[in-house]
Structure 1
Amino acid sequence: MCGILLHYNPNIVHEDRFLEFNEDECISVDESNGTSEIFNAIIPHIANRGPNYSSLRLSEKYHTAWFSSVLALRLPFTKQSLCVEDRYVLQFNGELYNKEIKQDQNDTQFIASLLSSSTDVIHTLTQLDGEFAYTIYDLRETKIYFGRDSIGKRSLCFKMDTTNGLYVASCTGNIEGFENCLGGVIYIFDLNERTISEHSKIIQRQYEVVDLIDENMETLDSMKEKLYTVLNESVSKRVTSIHPLHIESSPISVLFSGGLDCSVLVALICEQLRIFNPNTTVELLTVGFENPRIGMLPKDVPDRKLAISSSEVLKGLYPDIDIKLVYIDIPYEEYLKYRPTVINLMYPKQTEMDLSIAIAFFFASRGSGFIVDDVTRDEIPYQRKGIVLFSGLGADELYGGYHKFVNRSLEELSAELTGQINNIHDRNLNRDDKVIASNGVEVRYPFLDHNVVQFSTQEIPINYKVNKLILRKVASDILHLGGISTEPKRAIQFGSKSAKMTKDGNKHGTDLLK
């Protein structure tokens, strides 16, 4: 995973420079380099996303500044930004899972090889399979391409005006004027025209949930087997592509409430580890907040109780895998301390609901907590070691998990789910990626793999998606998760009690923050 920041301004003259910053090295960039105040204000956010390496590239001829950061997850290590064939300057954030990627090649190098063999940038981008964001400066054609994958699993935003030119960044903090990029859209900035016109936005994929009904549920068994297969493949490629350079044996972390979606992922991860690396630790990150409004402590929140019981089920199913339940308790004072940080990170999202969700993910991904000794029951301080986190986001949108779907007709449910999966880039992913990545980790979403989404939207009958029936069948009949398969949906802000923290508890989730 990496951080991306690009600024093109024909009114700024840079001195050609390439500065490098290694892990734990102080990053010092100021306007004496020819960079702008906005550019320099964004740099700390980008640097936090990739703590292993950062670089600043300045070009006098092309009036552009690039700042890139790298979290090393795949060999061989590749510095960014990357010059390709003296024609392109590439920034890439994310992971690719294309089968064509060679064993001695990482995803950034794979894109570079595609660019080297083709003059069609758009064709190159539409071949990519994964979770990513990018900028590509075509020096010959004087165009800058930028965007996100078909779902929008990595955050990216841009700001353009006649005075300051074009900014593109993974995360900006509270700087006005930035617009989140849409998922699955390739933006093309023509430097000669200095515009991003509507016809230059090219939709890669648009998902539509079919309204097929299987009244007698004749295909339920075959569908659950197929869903298990595509989910298993999705998890497999996300597990086997982790090759950190700086940690010999890096655990895999899971954002864990104990509910259906994340428990299914843990089971699938454990099945993969049995094949590829049974010595890998799986860290289950469960977060709970002290909520003074209702007088509840972290140990008593609903997600904590469920996480404990579900983790015991998973440990029983996979005794050969080292599964650690990491308790992350957040006192109210700590919530207040980091509240402004999270509000800044999740910008332009500014509602009470956005904060309650984002702050739960922020603390969970930070991973500072404790584990409980199985014998003595002592609490032992523990810091998350995994730098790849798995999330169950997407399951509710694909399989009808939200409470508001309960009274919908099947026709209405089909339309609702179509809107949910196509809007997830803006409603969830931009916000979540910004706060999670700020802790120097990468989040992966197996339910949002293109093949999983394509199968789930196009082939599964809509009546199998009432209260996530199809996923519950996978959990109970194939993964043997027992009672976990019947757990009701509970939003993270209510399960962790990060919502409505103060006596002014009559606020609505849609209310703007004050």
Structure 2
Amino acid sequence: MCGIFCSLHVGCCGHTGNIDGEPNNTVYHELSERLKVANAARGPDAQGTHHVRVQRICSGEAQAPSPSNTCSPAIDLEFFASELRLRGDAPIVQPHQQDGDVFCWNGEVFEGLNVNASENDGAKLFQSIHTLSTMDDLPFLLGRIEGPYAFVYYHAESQKLYFARDPLGRRSLLIHKPSVFNPYFLLASVSVGDDQGYVMEELPTEGIFCLDVGQLCESKEVTQHFDSNLTCIPRQIDRRNLPFAKLNRVNTALPPDVPPLVPSLDSEILPRDLAIAVDHLIDHLDNSVMLRVRNIPRRTSSSEKGRAQVAVLFSGGIDSTMLAFLAHRHVPLDEPIDLLNVAFQNPRKIQVQTDGNIGAIPKREKKRQLKAAEINGVLKESTSYMVPDRVTGLQEVEEFKRICPGRTWNFVEVDVPYEESQAARAAVETIMFPGRTVMDLSLAMALYFASKGVGRLRISEATDDYQPYTSTARVLLNGLGSDELLGGYGRHRTAYATRGWQGVIDELQLELDRIPTRNLGRDDRVISSHGKETRHPFLSLTVVSFLAGLPVHLKLDPRLELGLGDKMLLRLAARKVGLLEASTRKKKAMQFGSHSARMEPGEAEKRGDLMIRTVSEP
């Protein structure tokens, strides 16, 4: 995991100014420094900066600039990268550099590139790109590697800047294009929040972008000609076998007229094609987890020995439980696995649980009473962190103890008081930007505190004794993707009710199409702010390809009740590996299972897609 930042700033004949030649140094340089600080938090192990000046020769004689000279601008490129060392034996300081080429890499290569345990995948990939006979082959190289990534690569010979995210957008990369008011180009893993100095957007994932920096030097009106020098190279430009160049389409085959029903998860005799699919899912998911938990460099500090290197964002639901169980297969038995379980003190929930809404008290009066209760300490006394995810998490740990002998499971109870969550809100809003909806905030708050990993462990269940605990794990497994790929949302059931199996197929394709634009960039920015890396075994492109290719009726069956028909294939797989309790649990969205959503009285009516009002706004 890394934080990467790249800027392009233009002056004339070596005099740095803004893109159109007017002084704008102060705004640009202050913003640049703030962005480097923000991106340094993602990689606490090392940081590095490299500058490149790209300049064309003036068309007139070499002399002091004057209005009569037709001088081309000089372009200053700055590359910054921070490093969280999770691959290889030796520390790596980015940016990578050789023969004028510069590479900033934020990602992991899990398949398609021969990287042994002692090597760094970013350094290995840099050499592979640097030795290409032509940069036209870059799409073919990237199309053969699997893993989450975002990168920036400057090719000195052609004076071109290449940048992209992986096809699923599992790593964040934000872009600001130069404008009249903000005349510079920026790429950054994370921003500094809503700011007048830029218009930040998520970089699209449909291709590899190429900016012809040399051509920009030919024009004084660089702002005006920026877009004409920016191209998007398709990931798959011919019929070559590029397994990871793009997402596979969902299988459009309709099931038989009346597919056989699976009466229960205990069915010993499944239809042959379903039984085969269960085995293949276990194999694919097991391999995906193995690739994501092996060969994590061990830190040598004596205080870190015997501490967890892998954690799971853990609700006790079927997704996180399956990942934790498979991690158990591949993490050394003498190494604990941290299960990060977050619960929020939610005043609205507490009030409803304590008082209900007797007499239909108006919202304004309820809010006044809540404030008074908070001041008088009543909330603190009545706080319960036994939210739905805490209950299911504790239940699942007991199942783990039965079926995973010898493993130490650190069930980390991350309890978030209301005052603490509100104090962190401004920081969370900054990190998740440009995400700005109510749902963005609810999910980001849960991920922010869970990934921070500061909580407590139960010493004795009998006496409810605890000890403080902070997770040392830098790799966090996340179950995101299973609902989209396996039909775990209520809307899949609704699609079947209104349009039959064809409606379910269409909905699954829509889910796959929008995965790159929904949660992943935001989640990466939030979790990485603590110097942690999230890994998504369900979103391995190998797993995605397998699940997309399965006939729809092998993945889910909306005819069956909740807890059986939704994500049916995963439930059968969990049952087969021995996760009996987890296999029947019903889905609960993270923001509701942790109580991070709708904390204030009156928030129940707010839709998730509404824009938030930032804490600094009146």
* Same-fold status (TM-score > 0.5): yes
Q: What residue in structure 1 maps to residue 578 of structure 2? A: 480
* Offset at residue 458 of structure 1 (A): 1.0
1:165 aligns with 2:150: no
Q: What residue in structure 2 maps to residue 290 of structure 1? A: 345
Map residues 109-508 of structure 1 onto 2, 5 A cutoff: 109-118=123-132, 119-120=134-135, 121-161=138-178, 164-172=183-191, 173-175=193-195, 176-194=198-216, 195-196=226-227, 200-203=232-235, 204-212=245-253, 213=255, 215-216=259-260, 217-245=271-299, 250-273=308-331, 277-295=332-350, 297-374=383-460, 377-408=464-495, 409-466=500-557, 467-477=566-576, 479-505=577-603, 506-508=605-607
Q: What residue in structure 1 maps to residue 5 of structure 2? A: 5
- Aligned equivalents of 1:192, 1:465: Cα separation in 2: 53
- Aligned equivalents of 2:187, 2:335: Cα separation in 1: 37
Change (3 A) 1:245 1:79: farther
Three-state SS of the structure 2 residue aligned to 1:9 is strand
Three-state SS of the structure 1 residue aligned to 2:49 is strand
Three-state SS of the structure 2 residue aligned to 1:386 is coil
Three-state SS of the structure 1 residue aligned to 2:410 is strand
User: Is the contact between residue 209 and residue 231 of structure 2 (CA under 8 Å) also seen in structure 1?
Assistant: no
Query: Which amino acid is 1:74 matched to?
Result: R
User: Is the contact between residue 207 and residue 232 of structure 2 (CA under 8 Å) also seen in structure 1?
Assistant: no
Measured against aligned partners, the alpha-carbon deviations of 1:395-446 in whole angstroms (never above 9, x if no partner) come to 0010001112112222111121222122112210011111100011000000
* Offset at residue 183 of structure 1 (A): 2.8
User: Is the contact between residue 137 and residue 144 of structure 1 (CA under 8 Å) also seen in structure 2?
Assistant: yes
Three-state SS of the structure 2 residue aligned to 1:10 is strand
Unpaired runs of 5+ residues, structure 1, are 16-30
Q: What residue in structure 2 maps to residue 74 of structure 1? A: 87
* Offset at residue 147 of structure 1 (A): 1.1
- Aligned equivalents of 2:530, 2:117: Cα separation in 1: 28
1:90 aligns with 2:148: no
User: Is the contact between residue 174 and residue 345 of structure 1 (CA under 8 Å) also seen in structure 2?
Assistant: no
Change (3 A) 1:426 1:138: same
- Aligned equivalents of 1:268, 1:154: Cα separation in 2: 24
- Aligned equivalents of 2:512, 2:555: Cα separation in 1: 17
- Aligned equivalents of 2:326, 2:519: Cα separation in 1: 24
- Aligned equivalents of 1:170, 1:248: Cα separation in 2: 31
- Aligned equivalents of 2:305, 2:213: Cα separation in 1: 45
Map residues 25-104 of structure 1 onto 2, 5 A cutoff: 36-61=29-54, 63-75=76-88, 76-84=90-98, 86-98=99-111, 99-104=113-118
- Aligned equivalents of 1:397, 1:508: Cα separation in 2: 21
Three-state SS of the structure 1 residue aligned to 2:86 is coil
Tell me the TM-score normalised to structure 1 length. Answer: 0.91
Change (3 A) 1:374 1:460: farther
* Offset at residue 155 of structure 1 (A): 0.6
Unpaired runs of 5+ residues, structure 2, are 17-24, 55-74, 217-225, 236-244, 261-270, 354-382, 558-565, 614-618
Three-state SS of the structure 2 residue aligned to 1:385 is coil
- Aligned equivalents of 2:525, 2:437: Cα separation in 1: 16
Query: Which amino acid is 1:81 matched to?
Result: P
More off after superposition, 92-101 vs 224-233? 92-101
User: Is the contact between residue 207 and residue 421 of structure 1 (CA under 8 Å) also seen in structure 2?
Assistant: no
- Aligned equivalents of 1:211, 1:201: Cα separation in 2: 28
User: Is the contact between residue 298 and residue 329 of structure 1 (CA under 8 Å) also seen in structure 2?
Assistant: no
- Aligned equivalents of 2:100, 2:200: Cα separation in 1: 28
Tell me the TM-score normalised to structure 2 length. Answer: 0.76
User: Is the contact between residue 42 and residue 83 of structure 2 (CA under 8 Å) also seen in structure 1?
Assistant: yes
User: Is the contact between residue 277 and residue 554 of structure 2 (CA under 8 Å) also seen in structure 1?
Assistant: no
Calculate percent identity across the aligned residue pairs: 31
Query: Which amino acid is 2:338 matched to?
Result: E
Query: Which amino acid is 2:49 matched to?
Result: L
* Offset at residue 309 of structure 1 (A): 0.2
- Aligned equivalents of 2:553, 2:93: Cα separation in 1: 46
How many residues were matched structurally? 493
- Aligned equivalents of 1:471, 1:36: Cα separation in 2: 51
- Aligned equivalents of 1:269, 1:463: Cα separation in 2: 25
More off after superposition, 334-343 vs 36-45? 36-45
- Aligned equivalents of 2:298, 2:210: Cα separation in 1: 33
